[in-house]
Chain A
């Protein structure tokens, strides 16, 4: 085979990306592209898995059987999303278990939103409506990500997400139309989750360190601020419709731009939570570590069962 210089390879790669040709696992790719994807996809996977915890909190205490079945199905979907994403990470040559150990050691991050507690049932509504809503905004453009396996995983995920948001909004709607206490509970959940949901889109564009390169590689299609704006624009009318108030005194419609203006995000809080100092960071990681250790016997049993089955076959 003829020798090709690194610069040639990089140019060829960029040309493929520019002309919307997907990159597949065995294709040549810049090392930094690979590293960026491993970091992003594994952290996305961790977010799906850790994201089960705040809602798992309510499965046994859902107000009725219908709500319980729905919540269970939703949380089960999130486990599936984690698996699609860990599989996508493996196509890049990363060791799945290593990425999980990085989560447990604190080296790898996950979405900061899951470090907030869920003390009331209305939080299940706020999470589905706002957190899954924001996740959908982030994930829809990822269906066209330049890396094939990630894009394909996102197509599956997005198909499943839409019921997540609807069931959350349904919970909020029912509570908002209920007794004064129920309505207050819905408003309180919105008050607590609104700002953390806006933070899910990440730092402002001028602060975001990986954004520019990711846009050039078409891993990312829209900037953090653009996606956040889009989220505010679609969500504010939804809140109005069910009679809840967005907890932002600076929120106002701008006739000229056709967008809502909103108040300053508390970035100090955001970075505190990212750095591990949120209300539930410790509990979340502990739950994941416990799951790995306490689930060990299940994996051992599965291996033993498979070995027995194989022995029976050859006997």
Chain B
């Protein structure tokens, strides 16, 4: 173990304040989760950007295939009736 590349890559997620969700901010290498969190604090929250940190080993992230994204997301493209703007509401109706 002499290079940082021998350490796993971690994806870093930060909650900027209570009530908001954690958001992906970047990645780093560290030998374990504890050090990944400490390093993430030093690198990604130097200006009070966060109150909570998640780290996930990049190996454990699975992603949809961008090459197939058109077909993959097609089912939702064709269903305009899922949006409120699809419906006619008579004039004079409010609170709907």
Given contacts A77-B46, A83-B43, is CB(A303)–CB(B63) below 8 Å?
no
Given contacts A77-B46, A305-B31, is CB(A300)–CB(B2) below 8 Å?
yes
DSSP majority for the B interface? mixed
A24 at interface, CB cutoff 8 A: yes
Contact B26 A306 (CB under 8 A): no
Contacts of A27 in B (CB 8 A): 66
Contact A153 B1 (CB under 8 A): no
Q: Would you give the shortest CB distance from B93 to chain A, in whole angstroms?
A: 39
Given contacts A76-B46, A87-B26, A153-B26, is CB(A300)–CB(B67) below 8 Å?
no
Could you tell me which residues of chain A, from 74 to 132, have a CB within 8 Å of some CB in chain B?
A: 76-77, 80, 83-84, 87, 90, 95-97
Nearest A residue to B67, CB-CB: A28
Task: Specify which of A1, A83, A305, A310 is in contact with B67 (CB 8 Å cutoff).
Answer: A1
Interface size class of A (residues with CB under 8 A): 20 to 34
Contact A95 B65 (CB under 8 A): no
Q: Would you give the shortest CB distance from A72 to chain B, in whole angstroms?
A: 12
Contact B28 A83 (CB under 8 A): yes
The tally of residues in B whose CB lies under 8 Å from a CB in A reads: 25
Nearest B residue to A101, CB-CB: B3
Contact A26 B65 (CB under 8 A): yes
Q: Would you give the shortest CB distance from A1 to chain B, in whole angstroms?
A: 7
Task: Specify which of A90, A97, A303, A310 is in contact with B27 (CB 8 Å cutoff).
Answer: A90
A309 at interface, CB cutoff 8 A: yes
Q: Would you give the shortest CB distance from A154 to chain B, in whole angstroms?
A: 12
The CA-CA distance from A125 to B30 in the complex, in Å, is 35
Q: Would you give the shortest CB distance from B60 to chain A, in whole angstroms?
A: 16
A302 at interface, CB cutoff 8 A: yes
Could you tell me which residues of chain A, from 168 to 204, have a CB within 8 Å of some CB in chain B?
A: none
Could you tell me which residues of chain B, from 18 to 53, have a CB within 8 Å of some CB in chain A?
A: 26-32, 34-35, 43, 46-47
Tally inter-chain residue pairs, CB-CB below 8 A: 58
Q: Would you give the shortest CB distance from A145 to chain B, in whole angstroms?
A: 16
B9 at interface, CB cutoff 8 A: yes
Contact A306 B5 (CB under 8 A): no
Task: Specify which of B5, B9, B31, B66 is in contact with A302 (CB 8 Å cutoff).
Answer: B31
The CA-CA distance from A307 to B35 in the complex, in Å, is 12
Given contacts A28-B67, A84-B26, is CB(A310)–CB(B32) below 8 Å?
yes
A296 at interface, CB cutoff 8 A: yes
A66 at interface, CB cutoff 8 A: no
Nearest A residue to B26, CB-CB: A87
Q: When each residue 54-96 of chain B gets 1 if its CB lies under 8 Å from chain A and 0 otherwise, what string results?
A: 0000000001011110000000000000000000000000000
> Which 3 A-B residue pairings sit nearest by Cβ, starting from the closest?
A306-B31, A306-B32, A97-B5
Q: B residues near A, CB below 8 A?
A: 1-7, 9, 26-32, 34-35, 43, 46-47, 63, 65-68
Query: Mind listing 25 A-B residue pairs with CB under 8 Å?
Result: A1-B67, A28-B66, A80-B43, A83-B43, A87-B26, A87-B27, A87-B28, A90-B27, A95-B5, A96-B4, A96-B29, A97-B3, A97-B4, A152-B26, A153-B26, A156-B26, A296-B2, A299-B3, A302-B31, A302-B35, A303-B6, A306-B34, A306-B35, A307-B31, A310-B32
